Chains A and B, each alone.
Chain A
């Protein structure tokens, strides 16, 4: 079955960097667009970034543009989110989600806490 497993979250100081990973299984990874979505404490879902199946097309939310980079390694069935210049407002649970018909499969999320 389709599975997405995020990792890499943790506690980090403002201004520092963190890289999240999302390992996929159970489907043809490079055939699917993948998104990152986050949820800050007590807030709603916020779309973060998306990458095409071949990794050539990427889009970002304005709130992370220039600081976050989405990439993928199709040979490893893995999606990444490189997060630089982290801010307190980036504190959230980060989900990766597969785009099939809608975002049809999601990981359980990884928690990122940005705090001094």
Chain B
């Protein structure tokens, strides 16, 4: 049972938009930054969003992040088959003094 809650899976057609939610509490998301990662099998995870809503250089603006209260959301527009992957949110938890990941969301581009 992950501290941060994500839907196990989401799906959408190519070209469409999808959002992935990440729900936590005041000890993590509510008072700390959220980052998002894309993970393909047998590869290193890739940073997509940091500090809730900022994109590293090289990440297309199809990817966006937002945070409200104790929840965060990753948005992906103009879906491509290459976006099929697992997506994880991460935040620091002040009560645990530990990093906490969401359980991950598998994106299927139909």
B93 nearest in chain A by CB position: A47
Q: Are A45 and B39 in contact (CB under 8 A)?
A: yes
B90 touches A47 (CB 8 A): yes
B56 touches A46 (CB 8 A): no
Say how far A78's CB is from chain B's closest CB, in angstroms: 18
Interface size in chain A (residues, C-beta < 8 A): 22
Please name the residue on chain B nearest to A46 by beta carbon: B101
Pair A50/B99 contact, Cβ less than 8 Å: yes
Indicate whether B49 reaches chain A with its CB closer than 8 angstroms.
Answer: yes
CB closest chain-A residue, reference B88? A45
Bound: A44/B37 CA distance, A: 11
Interchain CB contact under 8 A, A95 and B44: yes
Known: A102-B35, A102-B51. A47 touches B56 (CB 8 A): no
Q: Are A35 and B2 neighbours in the complex by a CB distance under 8 Å?
A: no
Say yes or no: B98 contacts A45, CB within 8 Å.
no
> Which residues does chain B contribute within 8 Å of A61, judged by CB atoms?
98-99
Q: Could you tell me the distance between the alpha carbons of A106 and B43 in the complex, rounded to whole angstroms? A: 10
In-complex Cβ contact of A103 among B35, B86, B96, B102 (8 A): B35
Min CB–CB distance A101 → chain B (angstroms): 4
Residue B98 contacts which of A60, A97, A104, A106 (CB distance < 8 angstroms)? A60
Residues of chain B within 8 A of A50, CB atoms compared: 99
Q: Return 27 A-B CB contacts under 8 Å, by A number.
A: A37-B45, A39-B39, A44-B2, A44-B102, A44-B103, A44-B104, A45-B45, A45-B88, A45-B90, A45-B104, A47-B98, A47-B101, A60-B98, A61-B98, A61-B99, A62-B96, A62-B98, A101-B50, A101-B56, A102-B35, A102-B47, A102-B90, A103-B35, A103-B47, A104-B50, A108-B43, A109-B44
Which residues of A are in contact with B by a Cβ distance under 8 Å?
35, 37, 39, 44-47, 50, 59-62, 95, 97, 101-104, 106-109
